[in-house]
Structure 1
Amino acid sequence: MGRSIVHMDLDTFFVSCERLVNSKFNGIPLIIGGGDRGVVASCSYEARYFGVRSAMPIKMAMRLCPEAKVVKGDMERYSQLSHAVTEIIEEKAPVVEKASIDEFYLDITGMDKFHGSYKWTNELAQSVTKETGLPISFALSVNKTVSKIGTGESKPVGRLEIQEQDVRQFLNPLSIQKIPMVGDVTFQLLSRIGIRTIQTLSEMPIQVLQQMIGKNGIELWKKANGIDNNPVEPYTERKSISTENTFDQDTFDIQMLKFVLIGMVEKLAYQLRSEQWLASTVVVKIRYNNFDTETKQCRIPYTSGDHVLIRYVLELFEKLYQRRMRIRLVGIRFSGLVRGTYQINMFEDTVEMMSLYQAMDNIKNRFGQDAVSRCAGANLKSKPILPDLNSKP
């Protein structure tokens, strides 16, 4: 029996969230992002018509579309609406994978025995829109790759079913850029030898692709031929990353403890970005010298930016550490993870800050995680003054 896999994607999610609270934004070119030195986090279809794209500097976007309205994003609002949509889908679907803040995979294999799979999925999409006011597109097919490509082809507010016998006919004429794992570098490499459509790619000898691209060549050939056996992995808020530090000697040196926490956050945030995760919950743990252990947590807007996470961690630590006893251990956990490429807060941060994060991550990728860090998080003999966490790194 073939699988039935659904990909659901909230259309221009940030834009749709803003239009929920301000109807004046309907039908106009709208850009979500920071100020003049910021970047485009999202944009409406009206703005895309003029060539505006995500991650483009705001100044460039405004040159392309001078009539656009720029709105500073509200990640807290977007996170809340994302959680609301997740709850609706999880309540109705048997297996759900939350792939990012605004997209989901559903495995509804076998449901056609009791419901028409397309009809059931369409009713679910209508429920999401009715209960949240957010438009959502979907595609139903035999695997994750075909469904995701199908959703992209059906937008905006699309409803598409690609049956097994129609997969190749659907994929063949499309650009290889439609395949999720094909980035700009791979596209340019393949284009230079005349591979621009999925059909041409699917007909390439698999050994040639492997020689050109490496181990990803095999996976790319499979996707071009509509083959994808990856399962829908159930979404769970238990997914997390964490770290702890047990001190050689118990301490109540508050400044040193904050330095340690900053260093721990920096390493975990780098891991988040490297693995393309966004965290929505922060947990801080302390263990006193009498072995009493206490934790405190808070829900935050999805992020993987060091400076954002540091602020929440230090706020939780100050609320948590009230007994003024010596501390034996401190720990941090980031949970409620979803896949995401919004590596820093595009609504608050500048192009320069994005470049700084990318440069620091590149150095760490090449020379190791400890190759570069904030002074406050480093293991220094002399203790620097704590930084202003409201300033940019």
Structure 2
Amino acid sequence: MARVIFHVDMNSFYASVEQAYHPELKGKPIAIAGNPKERRGIIVTSSYEARAKGIYTTMNVAEALKTCPELIILPPDFPKYREASKAIFTILKSYTNLVEPVSIDEGYMDVTEVSKERHPLELAKEIQLRIFNELDLPCSIGIAPNKFLAKTASDMKKPMGITVLRKREVREKLWPLPVLKMHGIGESTAKKLHTLNIYTIGDLAKADERLLKQKLGKNGVRLIRRANGIDTREVDPNAIYDTKSVGNSTTLPYDIIEMKDIETTFLKLSEKVAERLEAKNLCGSTITIQIRDCHWKNQSKSKTVQNPIYLEKDIFREAMELFSKAWDGTPIRLLGVTVSNVIDKKHFAEQLSIFNFEQFAKEEPIYEIIHSMEKKFGKGIVQKGIDVKKKSYASKTSFSKDFFDDLIDK
């Protein structure tokens, strides 16, 4: 049976929330940015009035003020945005439990069942008006038979747009567009596709699947399917809690080149990543570092370790080892550390090796005592660790995976 999927995308979310809280800002060019005195001073988002004057996301604050001297710069207020987001998703969940948040300001709804009783367009208009009337926040909604087309549709008309995109319209509406316009394709992937003489979404839709799999791996096959309007992913309300990686990065106040500054930065990043892994009771087997130099050139290095890691000292050690192999001495603007391929610690069975055999040999007497106690008092009398409620180290910034804990059906 054909599905009816909505993609609800808030328009200029942070700026719109500020204008909702401060009506005197409505109709004025405003932008949300980090500290203008530091390197973090770039535009995070801006109102449509500011965009009309040439302001765009990632623009430097100084450049933005030159372009638009009357621009009102506001610091981000994430607790305020999180509260607004919870209110939005509460409205969405009043229509169906099949709501999948994908970020603080967008999410999917599977309204197939609801659409048996009400026309999807009527439903979308009601949702859009409720969010606007109750929260004073504008949104665009894409309506389609799958998630990819719904996401694409929601981008077609902003602000306050409602767009229907049917699979049969893909050839006419999407194929003539450049590949960079397709959701899921960034500049790097677009450049790779250009080397294969793939310039439009239509070129991609008709591309040789084997060639793209060879050049781009599984993602190449996925992109061909999406270009043909095919996407079988379901709307999964629990997907937001499926943590695949835990990372942290920081833009430095000034370019650094001294090793002690680099080590201090990696130590802080490793500490934050370790805290978040601990809070979620996770460990991971792949560690990745990100380096952005003073020329805005990005590079990353990854390593998969034999035994999953979660401790600060282990994350720091692996990060520094990767850094020593990757850095060419150019002054550094940003550093990041990510631990991925994460699993629950309860499911982690450390692999014996020549390097850790002695550790297990030392623990052998302990296992004998446990075995003896279990024989006397019963299986499971002694457990290796227990689950306790830990302090939350989840990000309190734009988005985090525990964001919707209070919206889960108990």
Q: State whether TM-score is above 0.5.
A: yes
Alpha-carbon deviation of 1:216?
1.0
Match of 1:213 among 212, 216, 221: 216
Aligned to 1:101: 104
Whether the 8 Å CA contact 2:29–2:72 is kept in 1: the answer is: yes
SS at match of 2:109: strand
Matched, 1:88 2:63: no
CA distance in 2, matches of 1:334, 1:84: 29
Matched, 1:6 2:6: yes
With structure 2 as the length reference, what TM-score do the two structures score?
A: 0.60
Match of 2:246 among 264, 267, 271: 271
The one-character-per-residue Cα deviations of 1:202-251 (angstroms, maximum 9, x if unpaired) are 122222222332221100101111011111111488x376xxxxxxxxxx
Aligned to 1:28: 28
SS at match of 2:191: helix
1:20-169 equivalences under 5 Å are 20-36=20-36, 37=38, 38-169=41-172
The one-character-per-residue Cα deviations of 1:316-338 (angstroms, maximum 9, x if unpaired) are xxxxxxxxxxxxxx962399xxx
Aligned to 1:291: none
- Higher gyration radius (CA): 2
CA distance 1:362–1:190, change in 2 (3 Å): closer
CA distance 1:102–1:354, change in 2 (3 Å): farther
Aligned to 1:265: none
CA distance in 1, matches of 2:154, 2:128: 13
Q: Which has the higher contact order (CA 8 A, sep 6+)?
A: 1
Alpha-carbon deviation of 1:365?
5.7
Aligned to 1:369: 315
Whether the 8 Å CA contact 1:240–1:333 is kept in 2: the answer is: no
Alpha-carbon deviation of 1:30?
1.6
CA distance in 1, matches of 2:207, 2:225: 11
CA distance in 2, matches of 1:153, 1:32: 24
Unaligned 5+ runs, structure 1: 242-267, 275-305, 315-329, 336-352, 375-393
Whether the 8 Å CA contact 2:96–2:114 is kept in 1: the answer is: no
CA distance in 2, matches of 1:51, 1:354: 26
CA distance in 1, matches of 2:188, 2:94: 40
Whether the 8 Å CA contact 2:292–2:298 is kept in 1: the answer is: no
CA distance in 2, matches of 1:195, 1:363: 28
1:243-254 equivalences under 5 Å are none
Aligned to 2:185: 182
Alpha-carbon deviation of 1:116?
0.8
Alpha-carbon deviation of 1:110?
3.4
With structure 1 as the length reference, what TM-score do the two structures score?
A: 0.62
Q: State the identity %.
A: 28
* Corresponding pairs, count: 281
The one-character-per-residue Cα deviations of 1:134-190 (angstroms, maximum 9, x if unpaired) are 111101001111110111111111011123332332222223223221011011222
Whether the 8 Å CA contact 1:145–1:179 is kept in 2: the answer is: no
For the aligned residues, what is the CA RMSD?
3.6
CA distance in 1, matches of 2:304, 2:29: 41
Unaligned 5+ runs, structure 2: 250-267, 283-290, 306-313, 321-334, 336-410
Aligned to 2:228: 225
SS at match of 2:155: helix
